[in-house]
């Protein structure tokens, strides 16, 4: 049995794991899918108060409550949070799993990386709010950007629950070290048909440092389009890290 903490990506909430959590639990695992501050059902944390350190503190407190090391999964920009959580709590983490996750080099921001990819739809989908504190994606592009291989009913449900994302998360330079983050086992699940984090961008991450690599023939959101196959990969990681 393993404990999973599943970290959502931009504009989403813990709800995006609604197909994955019961599948993990059916296999005897514990699966937690929190709303990060200001996301999902948290309407109390104002955008101006949200930062990457706040996200990391939130996840660190969850890790501290667990008696055994956790498999920490980050989807998309959830990769930023799990990276810094490993820097802060490496001994509490059994493995890091980047589900088509982002991981800029130290000193670089997520915007630095996504903005440099000519094939990603992110740049033309990105819409900054006037105050600069949050951003969203153009509603007309979201289905193709994030849910290109998902059932229309799932797309409708997901889009209806999306909320503006705090821009500070993608505008904060990364700070992690080989001594701390580098000591945690890392897995990367490539999504081969991803229009948001393209395959070259995913492979830029895995070429920069050692990763165990798995693949899904999926778009950006296999948590919706192929949850069973995703859980099979997560089960493989459980077995390999036993």
Q: Render each residue's pLDDT in the chain as its tens digit; 242 residues.
A: 999 999 999 999 999 999 999 999 999 999 999 999 999 999 999 999 999 999 999 999 999 999 999 999 999 999 999 999 999 999 999 999 999 999 999 999 999 988 777 777 888 899 999 999 999 999 999 999 999 999 999 999 999 999 999 999 999 999 999 999 999 999 999 999 999 999 999 999 999 899 999 999 999 999 999 999 999 999 999 999 99
Q: Report pLDDT for 117.
A: 79
User: What pLDDT was estimated at residue 116?
Assistant: 79
Q: Which residue, 152, 161, 162, is CA-closest to 10? A: 162
Return the pLDDT at 124. 86
Strand-pair partners of 100: none
Print the domain residue range for 212.
Answer: 3-240
CB 71 within 8 A of CB 45: no
Judge whether 45 and 112 are in contact, CB under 8 Å: no
Which pLDDT value is given to residue 241? Answer: 96
Task: Report the distance separating Cα 239 and Cα 91, nearest Å.
Answer: 19
64 token code pair: 């501290």
Provide the domain count of the chain: 1
The pLDDT of residue 195 is: 94
Q: Are 93 and 72 in contact (CB under 8 A)?
A: yes
The pTM of the full predicted model, rounded to 2 decimals, is: 0.97
Question: Between 52-65 and 78-89, two packed helices, what is the crossing angle to 10 degrees?
Answer: 60
CATH number at residue 55: 3.40.50.1820
Question: 74 by DSSP, 3-state: which?
Answer: strand
By the 10 Å C-beta count (0-12 exposed, 13-18 middle, 19+ buried), 121 is classed as: buried
């Amino acid at each position: 049995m393993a404990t999973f903490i599943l970290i959502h990506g931009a504009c989403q909430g813990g709800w995006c794991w609604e197909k994955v959590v019961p599948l993990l639990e059916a296999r005897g695992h514990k699966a937690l899918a929190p709303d990060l501050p200001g996301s999902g059902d948290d309407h109390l944390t104002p955008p101006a108060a949200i930062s990457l350190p706040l996200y990391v503190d939130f996840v660190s407190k969850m890790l501290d409550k667990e008696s055994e090391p956790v498999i920490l999964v980050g989807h998309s920009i959830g990769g930023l949070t799990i990276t810094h959580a490993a820097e802060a709590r490496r001994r509490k983490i059994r493995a890091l799993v980047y589900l088509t996750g982002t991981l800029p080099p130290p000193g670089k921001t997520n915007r630095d990386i996504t903005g440099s990819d000519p094939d990603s739809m992110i740049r033309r989908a990105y819409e900054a709010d006037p105050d600069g504190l949050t951003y969203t994606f153009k509603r007309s592009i979201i289905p193709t950007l994030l849910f290109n291989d998902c059932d229309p009913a799932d797309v409708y449900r997901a889009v209806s629950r999306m909320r503006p994302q705090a821009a500070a998360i993608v505008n904060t330079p990364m700070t992690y070290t080989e001594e701390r983050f580098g000591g945690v086992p890392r897995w990367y699940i490539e999504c081969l048909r991803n229009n948001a984090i393209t395959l070259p961008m995913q492979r830029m991450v895995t070429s920069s440092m050692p990763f165990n690599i798995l693949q899904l023939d999926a778009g950006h959101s296999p948590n919706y389009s192929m949850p069973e196959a995703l859980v099979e990969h997560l089960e493989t990681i459980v077995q390999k890290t036993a």
